Structure 1
């Protein structure tokens, strides 16, 4: 069991490398990996179940203890990234499918890897976890509404069907995972060390499946989509940081919100895009999944060396 836990930790720490590897494998062996496309939703549900196993009551107590900080993070998440996505579709020529995919990933909740990056950045980990939990729970309402509001001009959007899908693939697995903590705590405690392995395995297969199913489109417009993703992600970090600063939050909190805003649950974006739009619309989410783990690690490394103006260590809350 210790060997499995050690391997799982190693895989979790090298997540970006595994995502890149499987994206390349999906590109060069599309016929192998596109067979996974029908299983994308199932894989995402497994990932969400694993997240449910790790969510604690303390995560929600943090919301009660610091509602102002969490509200800023959640509002920034669901305002900055969707509006940035719309702006990018207006200034950069792209097909309706790609535009809908860019907007969809922008309307998704925060990604769980943001919590790890916040820890590495010496930011406020408790705030990051609370924001991720709240945006994830809000996703069944917020994501379909925002996609309908901003993406309907490109492709038809069935907001109600999307709402039902997110409930099934996000809320139900999360709830089951949380319930398992109470019903079989001993078993959950043994399983938790292996969760990074399960999460990475699920995400890399989703990325490889999307890349394999959309190889032709990637060859034709992959560089443009990559440029859009880099801009979307980078501007998300920047605006998230300055939004937190505008409200007078400490450096540790600004780090957390910047990373939270810039990093999306791109696995959810890929699953929804493939289900309701097309494999091409899922490409921005797949590329986002690769890129934000690289950029997040770089930003965390930069942030780790930053301290408050008085030179004191960051006042981050304990995770």
Structure 2
């Protein structure tokens, strides 16, 4: 592992710390960070450009080889989280700006960090990458439509304006990243190692901009919104897993779908909120960005440890048939998980 890879890994592993630090500083001295608001859209564009540089044709081959898992993941992503967001907004009678903010982050595609979490959880990483890629490319069409359908009850939603925004900050940068990869492959290969650091810095700055712009509202209802975000995220993991179980997916696939559904592209949520509704609406996305980078590793660690125990049990045969018993026990655990 070279120096850039080590730095990138460190940035990814400590992401939640940097987000928390940025949020704390923005709360303490908001006047030092409000100027960042004008750069939120280009910052997210940089993240999406980096994603485009890492996308490969192999990421989409799984759609043809195993379409069932991919389509289950895509539909779960765009049904469970938006649906949960709408129900939470109704159940807790959220103010219009915060209700739309919760719905907005729920309607976003999966976040790229979900791929890393699925790998750490010993889930189906290839499935996770494919679902993330597909939902991200579908986002310009699906995300504005869902926001218009679910959030119009609270605030006016301009579908075409939002569609244009998502195309500008998601689709165009990804296409440019793919073009860069095609024409400058050797340079891109070297640059990929630093992308985790660039992504972390960009998202941290976005969070700082959002927090500084809505400091008073966060102080007023921060703990309440934090609880809503934690509930939204946790229910996303749960219902994502149960969806995989309902459709008879393997244990590894269920883990991938669960993490894909629970972890959102909160950077996109914050960008859309700031562009179309204001800083207060971006608060749920900012909190989500911090929280899912804590809950994701916790869940991944649990599943990884469980997988290791199952592998150890499966390998403890003693020549008297106990190996088969261990294998059966492992299969039973997978079915009952």
Q: TM-score scaled by structure 1?
A: 0.96
* Equivalent pair of 1:44/1:267 in contact (CA under 8 Å): yes
Pairing 1:160-309 to 2, within 5 Å after superposition: 160-307=160-307
2:297 is the alignment partner of 1:311:
no
- Residues 157-199 of structure 1, C-alpha deviation per residue, up to 9 Å, x if partnerless? 0011111111111011001111111101110011000000000
Aligned-residue RMSD, C-alpha: 1.5
Corresponding residue SS for 1:142: helix
Distance 2:13 2:24 in 1: 19
2:75 is the alignment partner of 1:56:
no
2:68 is the alignment partner of 1:68:
yes
Distance 2:241 2:134 in 1: 19
2:152 is the alignment partner of 1:152:
yes
* Equivalent pair of 1:145/1:159 in contact (CA under 8 Å): yes
Pairing 1:118-133 to 2, within 5 Å after superposition: 118-133=118-133
Q: TM-score scaled by structure 2?
A: 0.91
Q: CA deviation at 1:306?
A: 2.8
* Equivalent pair of 1:9/1:193 in contact (CA under 8 Å): no
- Residues 183-234 of structure 1, C-alpha deviation per residue, up to 9 Å, x if partnerless? 0111001100000000000000001110111100000011111010000000
Corresponding residue SS for 2:264: coil
Gap regions ≥5 residues in structure 1: none
- Residues 70-104 of structure 1, C-alpha deviation per residue, up to 9 Å, x if partnerless? 00000000000001001101111321000000000
* Equivalent pair of 1:80/1:239 in contact (CA under 8 Å): yes
Q: CA deviation at 1:2?
A: 4.0
Rg (Cα) greater in structure: 2
Distance 1:271 1:103 in 2: 14
Corresponding residue SS for 1:297: helix
2:117 maps to which residue? 117
